[in-house]
Amino acid sequence: MDAVISVQSLTKVFGSREVLHGVDLTVRAGSVYGVIGPNGSGKTTTMRCLLDIIRPTSGQVRVLGQDPRQGGPALRRRIGYLPGELFLAGRVTGRQLLARYEDISGPVEPGRIGELAERLGLDLDRHARKLSKGNRQKLGLVQAFMHQPDVLLLDEPTSGLDPLVQQEFHSMVHEASINGQTIFLSSHVLSEIQQTADTGAILRDGRIIAEQSMEALRTSAVRRVRLGASKITAGDAVARLLAVPGLGQVEAVASDGGVTLTATLEGAVQPLVRALGSLELTDLVIEEPDLEQSVLALYSEHQADPT
Amino acid sequence: MIRLPLFRRALGDSWRSTLAWGLGLAAAAFLYLPLYPSLGGSTQMQDLISSLPAEMTKALNYDQIATGPGYTQATLFGLIGFLLMAIASVAWGAAAVGADEESGQLELTLAHGVRRVQVVFERSLAMTLRIVLLSLVLLTLVLALNGPAQLGIAPSHAVGAATLFAGLALVSGSAALCAGAISGRRSVGLAAGGAVAVLSYVSNAVGRQSPDLAWLLDVSPYTWAYANSPLANGANWAAVGWLWGISGALVAVAAIALEQRDVGV
């Protein structure tokens, strides 16, 4: 499959401050690529480079095979963009505002705007500046999705949205991806990326420090394990489980005639299940992996790295 | 087909303020012009003006206030109308790019299918059209009150003076737009446009005081426009060319500057 977005060794210097120190990433057609990173890590700057709002200091950027600088308006008509901080003009209704953006973006199918507004629960007849943060965000989403662009660049798309609307947004992203549209989104909240993206990348201090498919991130993720077993001492139980690769933070508490044990498991589940076969289990809980924890682990590894 | 979406949008956003400035100009015209027969043309007024220090009458352009064209020039075109138009055009010029970028809206506009040069040109076209409209309002009022207020202005001279009036506003408006486009800041645009308007007026007023300071007149757009009393003698068309030409050049500089730089940082 073709790379719809490709960024190589992208750097950006503002004055004396280097904001991006060589970002490399590739987004394939029809995929959902999520960038996670704290505020100020360079997510917005990267997106702005893809739109030719900001010009790279060095490195190569291609969107749909074109340099954004050369691609000009024709290329940007094929992109839908939701800025991280959305400012909308005053004295017009949402409908009028969208009509203005429709004038300068790709063709919008009749009825498309109404349909999107209904899905998100947005009243188009209210004045744009009287809208709450969440409703402005919905207007921004409609604006990004309405012309069914080949590429969607969404900077912090769910900020201000309530959970039900977030769900609707996730299904919009899913549908767009099935349609063959390519989605590049950013968030400082991992759970959002976790729910929508196929691939997650962690951007920190202007550099991609990890990039993995969500599937791989899930397998490398840390799970919490809690079990109860009878007819065994705490010491024996711990001894048997220590052989399991990836198991750590084992704590065992003896309870009458048995033991209650908690631990963390990193990596595959199978070896643990095999080891558990020799125990008389009274209880077993293996929790969903907490990607937040594995990402934090990646962060701290990176920080420990002296380079 | 030329659609000019940004031009239409800019006009749609500003019709209220255009109307308000138009009403302001109309109020000024209705306030000043009907007073001419009893004020500017009266002998008492003439005596009063003569008794004032010559420096003051020169600075205020009141030296020809005894004639209808001189009175209209001194009060409306040269003072209150100039002031209103300078404020309006500087505000529009600073809003066109600088304020739009500062508020964060320019980023989203540029993320769509438009060129930066197009943004600058369409918005300066919208500003120009508004200035021309207001100048037409002023021209219409002057022509309408010409007879009743016994001003005795030749209609062709009024047209020439209104063209200069528009050109003068356009220079300060374009300066504001240009500075806003270079800096991305509304305040810088306002400062630059305001400085052009104020310095233009002040250097005219000061330059007329003594031959030693006459060089100030050469650099004052206000002097270029009004030195030969256009309402009495017809427009200096070379001055029209300069004012409109400089405005065009400022817009071109704005377009080039915006094209070169990062937006919204």
B60 interface with A at CB cutoff 8 Å: no
Nearest CA in chain A to B118: A73
| Structural Rg of chain A based on CA atoms | 24
Residue with tokens 């300060």: B172
pLDDT tens for each residue of B10-52: 888 888 899 999 999 999 999 999 988 887 667 777 787 788 8
- What pLDDT shows up at residue A293? 65
Q: How many CB pairs under 8 A join A and B?
A: 69
Q: Is the pTM above the cut of 0.90? A: no
Highest mean pLDDT among A96-105, A142-151, A297-306, B49-58: A142-151
Q: Which of B5, B13, B264 sits opposite A104 (nearest CB)?
A: B5
Cβ of B265 and A54 within 8 Å?
A: yes
Task: Report the C-alpha gap between A197 and A31 in whole angstroms.
Answer: 8
Task: Report the C-alpha gap between B90 and B169 in whole angstroms.
Answer: 8
Percentage of chain B modeled with pLDDT above 90: 67
Task: Report the C-alpha gap between B128 and B212 in whole angstroms.
Answer: 36
Chain A interface mutation, best of B108, B109, B121, highest count of A Cβ atoms under 10 Å: B108
Q: Which residues 111-150 on chain B approach chain A with CB closer than 8 angstroms?
A: 111-115
Over range B92-121, report the average pLDDT.
94
pLDDT tens for each residue of A69-123: 999 999 999 999 999 888 887 778 999 999 999 999 989 999 999 999 999 999 9
Nearest CA in chain A to B9: A100
- What pLDDT shows up at residue A307? 44
- What pLDDT shows up at residue B209? 85
Q: Which of B3, B112, B115 sits opposite A105 (nearest CB)?
A: B112
- What pLDDT shows up at residue A1? 52
- What pLDDT shows up at residue B210? 84
- What pLDDT shows up at residue B220? 92
| Entry field: residues in chain A | 307
Are A79 and A151 in contact by the 8 Å Cβ rule? The answer is yes
Over range B133-154, report the average pLDDT.
93
Task: Report the C-alpha gap between B215 and B107 in whole angstroms.
Answer: 44
**Helix (H/G/I), strand (E/B), else coil: A184:** strand
Are B86 and B165 in contact by the 8 Å Cβ rule? The answer is no
Question: Chain A residues within 8 A (CB-CB) of chain B?
Answer: 14, 48, 51-55, 72-74, 76-77, 79, 81, 83, 85-89, 91, 100-101, 103-106, 143
Q: How confident is the model at residue A303 (pLDDT cuts 50, 70, 90)?
A: low
Determine the angle formed by the axes of helices B116-146 and B155-183, rounding to 10 degrees: 150
Task: For chain B, report the end-to-end CA distance as a whole number of angstroms.
Answer: 35
- Residue B65 distance to chain A (closest CA, Å): 44
Phi, psi of B224 (to 5 degrees): -55, -45
Tell me the two tokens of residue A110: 């009749």
Residue A49: which of A29, A22, A74 has the closest Cα?
A22
Pairs from A164-167 (Cβ < 8 Å, separation ≥ 24): A165/A120, A165/A121, A165/A134, A165/A138, A166/A192
Could you tell me where the beta strands, DSSP code E, fall in A156-303? 182-187, 199-204, 207-213, 222-230, 247-255, 258-266, 280-286
Task: Put residue A13 in one of left, alpha, beta given phi > 0 → left and psi -120 to 50 → alpha.
Answer: beta
Q: Which of A52, A87, A103 sits opposite B103 (nearest CB)?
A: A87
Cβ of B105 and A87 within 8 Å?
A: yes
Q: What is the mean pLDDT of chain B?
A: 91
Residue B111: which of B263, B255, B251 has the closest Cα?
B263
pLDDT > 90? residue A235: no
- Residue B129 distance to chain A (closest CA, Å): 20
Over range A174-181, report the average pLDDT.
94
More confident residue, A231 or A50: A50
Cβ of A104 and B114 within 8 Å?
A: yes
Task: Report the C-alpha gap between A298 and A215 in whole angstroms.
Answer: 16
Spell out the residues 6+ positions from residue B113 whose beta carbon is closer than 8 angstroms to its own.
Answer: A73, A74, A76, A77, A104, A105, A106
Tell me what ipTM this predicted complex has. Answer: 0.85
